[in-house]
Structure 1
Amino acid sequence: MADEFYSIGKVEEICKITKKALRYYDRMKILSPDKVCDENGYRYYSKKNLLTVPVIRYYKQSGFKLDEMREFLGGRASYEYVDRRFRKKIDELEDIDKEINLKIRSIKDWRQLIDEAEMVLANNVIDVSVKYIDSRKLIFLNQEFKYDYMDSIINIEFCNYIDSVNNAITGPVIINFPSYKDKMNGKCNSMKIMQQTILKCKDEQSIEYGGWLAACCYHIGKHENIGETYKKIENWVENHGYKCFEECYERYVTDYWTTQNTNRFITEVIIKIRR
C-alpha cells in the first residue's frame, strides 16, 4: 500500500470526487497529497490517503463542517473529546430538526387553508350550517378594533407578542368579538385575536376556544360587507329554533396573508348558539 500513488485525476476517478474539491481539502488541511512534483506541481496521493475520502463523506453526512472534522481526521483525539464534540453536534442537529419541522408544519397548515378556500369557491359554499367546534387552546391578545381588517389580521402587535414569548403560530387567524350585533352594525371597538401555537405556551398566555355548538357560514369576498353574512346567520338561527349567544368569531381562511384579491377572501363567521 505504501508504494502505490495516484495522480489527482486518478483519485477523482476512483473516489468520485472533483479535482476542485481535492484542492480545496488541501487548502483546508483536511486531505493533502503525499507528494507534489517539483517540476510540474502534479499531486500524488497514497492508497492510505485515499481511504480518508469515505471518512470525510461520512462526517459531512453527519453534519460536520470541514474545520470541525479536521480535529478528528488526525486520529489523535481522545474518546472523551470525540464524545463531547459528538454530543454538541447532536444538540445542534436537534435544534435544526425542530426548526425544519416547524417550517413544515407551518406550510402544511397554510396549504390546508388554501385547499379549504378552493373548495368553498369551487362549490359556492355559502349556506349556514350547525357545527360542533372542537375545544383547543389558542394563544391570544386583547386589542382595540377599528374595522381596519388588514391591520387586524396581519397584526404587527400580535406578531411581536408571539416573538416575545418565544413561540410560533400556525393555522388561521381567529378574531373573537364580544357582540355579533355590534360587529354587524359597525359598533364593535374591541377584539381578541387568537391563533394556534406550534410550541406549547403557558396557561396564562392561552385561552380555551371551542367546546360548543355554533352556526357557521362562509363569507366570500371583501370583509367590509361581512355584516350580510351575520344577518344571514341571525335569520337562519331564528327560523330553525336556535338562539344566538352574544359573542362571535371570524376565522380567516384566506385573507391578506395569502392574496391581495379581496374577491377571493374566504372568512368563516361563527356564532355560538343554543336551543
Structure 2
Amino acid sequence: MLSIGEFSKICGVSTKTLRYYDEIGLINPDEINPENGYRYYSIRQLKNMLFINRLKSYHFSLEEIKAILELEEDQSEEKLCSTLNYKRKEIQETLNALEFILKQMSSDILNLEKGIPIMSCLDNIEVQLVETETMNILYMRQMISSDDYVVGYGKYFSRLFEKIATEKLTFLGTPMTIYHSPEYNPAGNDTEFAIPIEETVKGTRDLHGGLCAKSVLKGSYSELPAVYAKLMEWVENEGYELVKSPYEVYVTDPNQATEPKDIVTEVYFPVKKK
C-alpha cells in the first residue's frame, strides 16, 4: 500500500487534488485508517490515476472522465475509442482556429510594417443593393448560446436535412441562419435555422423578399463581424435603415472547403429608405 503522499509523488498529483477526487468519486483511497484518517492507495490504483491524468491531458473535464471510468467493461473499449475520436476532432478544430488567428496576426503585422492600418480590411468589403424573392423555408428557431454555435449549427441543420430526406422534400437553396435577437447575449440568442424548399408542409413559413443590402464573404466565419460592421456603415451612410432581422446564406458547405478562403457566405440586411 502507498500513503497518500507517496501516491501523490509518483502520479504527480497534489494530495489536495486527491482528496477532491475522493469527494467527487473519481478515485477513492483503497483504505482509510479509521483511527487517524490516513489514506492509502494500492499499487493497482497507480494505473487508474495515470489513466485519469492522460484523459486530463486530452482536455476531458472531470465529469467526462468520471463517465468514462463508469463505462461497463464489455463496452468500455468501443465507447472510449468513439469518445477519443470526438475529442480529437474538437482539438483539431481548436488548432485550426488558432492557426487561422496566427495567419491573421502575421498578416496584420506585415501590413502595419508597410504602414497599412489593421482595419483597412473593411475598405475591401463590397456592398450592393439587391431585391430578394420571397422564399418558402423549412425552419427551426432556438435560443442558442455563443458557446453552442458550432455544435448547434450542425445539430439543427442535421434535423432539417433529416426531415427533408424522410418526407422527400425538394431543396430550393442552401442553408441559412436568421438572427432575431435585438442585441448580442452570450447566454443565448434567438436564432432561426432554415433551408428553402418547394413544398409547404408543417414547419415551413414564408421568408418575405424585399430590398436588402448584401455582402459576400469569402473566408472564415470569424470574419463575419467585419462584414456586419461594413453593412451597418453602408446602411447608415446611404440613408437606409434595417427593417427585419439580418440573415446569412451558406453558399458552400464548410466541411467541403479545403481552406477558409473557399468558404462563401452571403449576408443580407433587409432595409428601407429612411
TM-score, length of structure 2 as denominator length: 0.47
TM-score, length of structure 1 as denominator length: 0.47
Q: Which has the larger radius of gyration?
A: 1
